[in-house]
Homo-oligomer: A and B are copies of this chain.
Amino acid sequence: MLERFLVPKEDQILIESESMTQATKQIFLKMGLSEDDAQLSSEVLMTSDLRGCESHGVSNMLPIYVDRFGEGAKDLGINPTPNFRITRESPTTANIDGDDGLGLHVLPKAMEIAIEKAEKYGSGSVAVHNSRHIGMLAYHSMMALEHDMIGLTMTAGNSMAMVPTHGAEKRLSTNPWAYAVPADKEPPFVFDVATTQVAGNKLSLAKRVGAKMDSAWITDSKGNPILNEVDLPDDREDYMMLPFGGTRENGSHKGYGYAAVAEIFSDILSGMGPGFLMPPNTYGEMGHFVQVIIIDGFIDVDKFKKDMDLFLKGLAETKPIDGQERVVYAGLPEFEETQIRLKEGIPYHYKVIDWFENIKAELNLDFDLKKM
């Protein structure tokens, strides 16, 4: 993550991760989730916070989920006890009705089905419709790793955010992708990105930590890329997000194209139709797509993993340009951050901890956030 998104040192409170998992689980239980779903959902959020991806951890998302559980299962609302069912399948494909359940615990079940199919036939692809936010995509793709499979996750929804290249109107969400690929001794390759210049959740993070938007991150209200550093406007109507690349010359049509692919797999293949025709609700209805493929269907797993080590080590040992300490690959800094945060705790903004203390009182919960 870029430096600018980090919680400033003076605003940080370090919390031990297991105590935060327990606090989060209690909140999910109070929302009506089953024991298993509450546990799983907490783990997904905490994996995000441990990996240094706080944009998708408890800070941004949990307050929104809590609001939405209150609204019932219509449009914005989340159904705490969804009736998850397969609506169509073939030996290696399935489409699942998420019944307005929270994607955090709905999607891992879809991924399990994909993995079962791949164990039998070599690959498995599952689309999910009528679902909600899935948190950090990497969690779901990483489920493939221990099975010696390559995992892919995409998601899209009605949260209109992105203009197409040269467009003056929003047509797409932030439509992220994540791949996870196992290695032998090196930390796995885990590539998790929004197809906008910056993930949607990072905008709220930027707001909290007082960071500016860089050149070609957002447009003005007419769709023109803003090419200087600016504050994020307060009103969501006053800006739109650009596909990654930013301008046509720097490849924004590529960000736009990958966004369209995520939309096709998540929303259209799952039967929900184009996101821009859904009701315009942020974090409302969403479709997802997961896919796994067995390495052993192509080559010896052992050779593959050793070659992955050579590849990843070679990337990380690339000579850096002047002024940069090193070159990394996707998943390496997140792996390193996890080791640090497991030992030293997770740095939360004090306002986040305030929120937990308030909701603890409000909902009459019994947890103890352990400071490090």
Contacts and interface: CB of A to CB of B under 8 A. Distances in A.
Contacts of A164: 315, 318, 327, 329
B298 A270 contact: yes
Contacts of A298: 88, 93-95, 127, 269-271
A-B pairs, 8 with minimum CB distance: A93-B297, A90-B122, A244-B251, A90-B297, A92-B122, A274-B311, A191-B257, A93-B122
Tell which of A167, A298, A320 has the most Cβ of chain B within 10 Å. Answer: A298
- Taking residues whose C-beta sits less than 8 angstroms from the other chain, chain A's interface range is 35 or more
Given A250-B246, A310-B274, A315-B164, A223 B321 contact: yes
A228 to B, nearest CB: 12
A219 B89 CA distance: 48
Contacts of A231: none
A276 B314 contact: yes
Contacts of A93: 122-123, 293-294, 297-298
Interface of A: 2, 88-95, 120-123, 125, 127, 150, 163-169, 171, 179, 181, 189, 191, 193, 197, 214-216, 219, 222-224, 244-246, 248-251, 253-258, 260-261, 263-265, 268-271, 273-274, 276-277, 293-299, 303-304, 307-308, 310-311, 314-315, 318-322, 324, 326-330
Contacts of A254: 193, 244, 255
Contacts of A92: 92, 121-123, 297
B311 A121 contact: no
Nearest to A118: B92
Q: Which of A91, A219, A326 has the most CB of B within 10 A?
A: A91
A46 to B, nearest CB: 24
A163 B324 CA distance: 14
Contacts of A167: 318-321, 327
A32 B92 CA distance: 40
Contacts of A215: 249-250
Nearest to A216: B250
A193 B244 CA distance: 14
A158 B249 CA distance: 26
A257 B122 contact: no
A95 to B, nearest CB: 4
24 contacts: A89-B297, A90-B121, A95-B297, A95-B299, A121-B121, A127-B298, A164-B329, A167-B327, A168-B320, A168-B321, A179-B261, A181-B261, A191-B261, A193-B254, A216-B250, A222-B321, A244-B251, A245-B250, A245-B251, A260-B315, A268-B311, A269-B299, A270-B298, A277-B310
A250 B246 CA distance: 6
Contacts of A271: 298-299, 303, 307
Contacts of A304: 268-269
A330 B224 contact: no
A192 B329 CA distance: 24
A107 to B, nearest CB: 16
Contacts of A150: 264-265, 269
Contacts of A91: 91, 120-122
A294 B94 CA distance: 11
Contacts of A127: 298-299
Nearest to A117: B122
A261 B179 CA distance: 8
Given A122-B92, A191-B261, A304-B268, A315 B171 contact: yes
